[in-house]
Structure 1
């Protein structure tokens, strides 16, 4: 991306997948650094419920750093960092006393 407005606006509405092929969400908005004239983040909605169910309230979105983006084409590919949310170490919940 060379940062032209035409290219930036084409990101909105694109689906975002991890580089392992897992659907993450859809781009709703772009976060810009106006001083540097660069994209710094992507605001995602229509999130993958399996990844975000216990972390994000329904109807809310997430902002991912643009540095996670690996490729932009028909879809946007990002690092698999988001997938690691599926396997949190939540052993405290399993040891809760009723």
Structure 2
């Protein structure tokens, strides 16, 4: 069985997002495109109450360079947690 190397950006929407160490953050809300050609980052709607309270926000932006894997879920590096402005 071959693994899919590419996927449509829209297929990532609503995927659950976890850190590398298994902490659930929320769901992918939107892709941020740079120069009409590259994904700059992902807007994630926070659903974990503890993380949401700690960051005092509704969402975060995860730079695409810190995404470790996208499949049934999205896995990100823990250091990528930043407040959405």
For the criterion TM > 0.5, the same-fold answer is: yes
CA-atom RMSD in angstroms: 1.9
Matched residue, 1:48 = 48
Where do residues 53-92 of structure 1 align in structure 2 (5 Å cutoff)? 53-57=53-57, 60-81=58-79
Could you tell me which residue of structure 1 aligns to residue 18 of structure 2? Answer: 17
Task: Indicate the structure with greater strand content.
Answer: 2
Q: After TM superposition, where is structure 1 displaced by more than 4 Å over at least 4 residues in a row?
A: none
1:7 aligns with 2:8: yes
Task: Note the C-alpha offset of 1:82.
Answer: 5.1
Contact 1:51–1:82 (8 Å) recurs in 2: no
Provide the C-alpha distance between the structure 2 equivalents of 1:20 and 1:54, rounded to a whole number of angstroms.
Answer: 18
Normalising by the residue count of structure 2, what TM-score does the alignment of the two structures yield? 0.76
Q: TM-score, normalised by structure 1?
A: 0.67
Question: How far is the alpha carbon of 1:50 from its aligned partner?
Answer: 1.3
Q: Which one has a larger percent helix, Structure 1 or Structure 2?
A: 1
**Residues paired across the two proteins, number:** 77
Q: What residue is the counterpart of 1:93 in the other structure?
A: none
Distance 2:14 2:8 in 1: 12
- Flag the structure with larger Rg: 1
Unmatched runs of 5 consecutive residues or more in structure 2: none
